[in-house]
């Protein structure tokens, strides 16, 4: 599959897969900033995408940043709809205990492109029975 991408700045870096078998392509910061513990910031990547109809872009945290520094994404995974043509921005949050410096060119997230199944919603008075029923949050955990 091929997808159109537009660099919005001269310093923007096109997403890259580190390995042939990687599901996510690295997204790079196109600006520099400092994130204090508990702080969040919308970090520009300097790119815009033309995601084909029937697909979605999902922005996931990078496991190394999460493990080593407590850096995550507020709305993980972030959703990029196929109709969006603006700059891809990553809503980073510092869940760590130290200042974290984001430098332009740093890998800050992963982009996955996935197929979307569109459904027609049918309103009904009753739903069929299932093993789980209405048991929700924590219902399969330790009591």
- CATH code of the domain containing 98: 2.70.40.10
- The whole-number pLDDT of residue 143 equals 59
Q: Does 78 map to a domain?
A: yes
Range of the domain at 79: 4-115
Name the domain count of the chain: 1
- The whole-number pLDDT of residue 136 equals 76
pLDDT over 80 (residue 141): no
Per-residue pLDDT averaged across 38-50, rounded?
98
5-32 per-position pLDDT tens digit: 999 999 999 999 999 999 999 999 999 9
Q: Does 84 map to a domain?
A: yes
CB 100 within 8 A of CB 34: yes
Q: Does 139 map to a domain?
A: no
Q: Does 111 map to a domain?
A: yes
Q: What is the mean pLDDT of the chain?
A: 95
Q: Does 127 map to a domain?
A: no
Q: Does 121 map to a domain?
A: no
Burial 4-32 (b: 16+ CB within 10 A, else e): eeeeeeeebbebeeeeeeeebbbbbbbbe
Q: Does 13 map to a domain?
A: yes
Q: Does 107 map to a domain?
A: yes
Over the chain, what HEC string results? CCCEEEECCCCCCCCECCCCCCCCEEEECCCCEEECCCCEEEEEEEEEEECCCCEEEEEECCHHHHHHHCEEECCCCEEECCCCCCEEEEEEEECCCCCEEECCCCEEEEEEEEECCCCCCCCCCCCCCCCCCCCCCCCCCCC
């Amino acid at each position: 599959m091929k997808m159109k991408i537009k660099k919005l700045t001269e310093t923007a870096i096109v997403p890259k897969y580190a390995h042939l078998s990687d599901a996510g392509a690295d997204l790079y910061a196109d600006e520099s900033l400092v994130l204090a513990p508990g702080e969040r910031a919308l970090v520009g990547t300097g790119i815009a995408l033309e995601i084909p109809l029937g697909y979605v872009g999902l922005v996931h945290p990078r496991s190394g940043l999460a493990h080593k520094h407590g850096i995550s994404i507020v709305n993980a995974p972030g959703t990029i709809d196929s109709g969006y043509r603006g700059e891809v921005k990553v809503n980073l949050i510092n869940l760590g205990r130290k200042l974290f410096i984001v430098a332009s060119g740093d890998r800050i997230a992963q982009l996955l492109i996935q197929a979307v199944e569109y459904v027609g919603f049918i309103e009904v008075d009753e739903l069929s029975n299932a093993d789980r029923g209405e048991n929700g949050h924590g219902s399969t955990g330790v009591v």
